[in-house]
């Protein structure tokens, strides 16, 4: 499985959106909720197929607040042989680490009874990344915050709020 996270993050270098109130976002599939600092943009983001297979359907939900990028990606592996969810999450984290030039191998986390991995550290672009990855019901979820090279410490509460707001509902 190839995770094209590096390309997606680099593509998100857009003009910041300013927001006063946070938006409670409910996944159209009913699988999760999360709060964004502004109404998130939604885009189809399929993963390229390995060895001639069909691409894996995927969506991204993202917004930019000042210079921080708040991002949730969902990839649907239903109907595919995915094997162990823990190994799948570890593969995604290793791919993100390699693609982004991170040295952190990630550590185990649990959210709403689901095991996952969290990765933090500087990317080769100089930006900081916080990536939480879970595999639940044949879907891979990545909850990301990308922080600028010179982060504004006053924005750390927004980062924590976004990460703490993500929950599975099914």
**Three-state SS for 28?**
coil
pLDDT band at 44 (very low <50, low <70, confident <90, very high): very high
Average pLDDT over residues 39-53: 83
Compute the distance between CA of residue 110 and CA of residue 168 in angstroms, rounded to an integer. 11
Decide: residue 19, CB within 10 A, 0-12 exposed, 13-18 middle, 19+ buried: middle
% of residues, the chain, pLDDT over 70: 69
pLDDT at 91 over 80: no
Specify the number of domains making up the chain: 1
Average pLDDT over residues 66-74: 91
User: The domain that contains 52 carries what CATH number?
Assistant: 3.40.1000
From residue 82, alpha-carbon distances to 57, 76, 106 in Å are 14, 10, 20
What domain range includes position 72? 5-168
pLDDT at 167 over 50: yes
11 backbone dihedrals φ, ψ, rounded to 5°: -75, -15
Mean pLDDT of the chain: 79
Which of residues 155 and 80 earns the better pLDDT score? 155
Compute the distance between CA of residue 48 and CA of residue 99 in angstroms, rounded to an integer. 15
- DSSP at 52: T
Which of residues 143 and 67 earns the better pLDDT score? 143
pTM of the prediction?
A: 0.79
Phi-psi region of 59 (alpha: psi -120 to 50; beta: other; left: phi over 0): beta
Average pLDDT over residues 78-100: 66
From residue 135, alpha-carbon distances to 15, 82, 95, 121, 149 in Å are 31, 10, 15, 22, 30
**4: which 2 tokens?**
């094209």
Residue keyed to tokens 């996270």: 5
């Amino acid at each position: 499985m190839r995770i094209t996270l590096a390309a997606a993050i680099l593509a998100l270098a857009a003009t910041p959106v300013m927001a006063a109130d946070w938006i409670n976002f409910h996944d159209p599939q009913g699988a999760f909720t999360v709060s964004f600092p502004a109404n998130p943009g939604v885009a189809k983001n399929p993963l390229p197929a390995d060895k001639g297979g069909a691409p894996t359907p995927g969506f991204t939900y993202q917004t930019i607040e000042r210079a921080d990028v708040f991002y949730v990606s969902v990839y649907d592996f239903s109907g595919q042989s995915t094997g162990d969810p823990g190994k799948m999450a570890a593969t995604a984290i290793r791919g993100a680490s390699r693609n982004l030039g991170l040295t952190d191998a990630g550590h185990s986390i649990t959210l709403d009874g689901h095991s996952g991995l969290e990765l933090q550290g500087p990317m080769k672009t100089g930006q900081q990344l916080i990536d939480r990855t879970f595999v639940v019901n044949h879907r891979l979820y990545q909850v990301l915050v990308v922080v600028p090279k010179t982060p504004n410490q006053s924005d750390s509460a927004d980062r924590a709020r976004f990460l703490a707001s993500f929950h599975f509902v099914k």
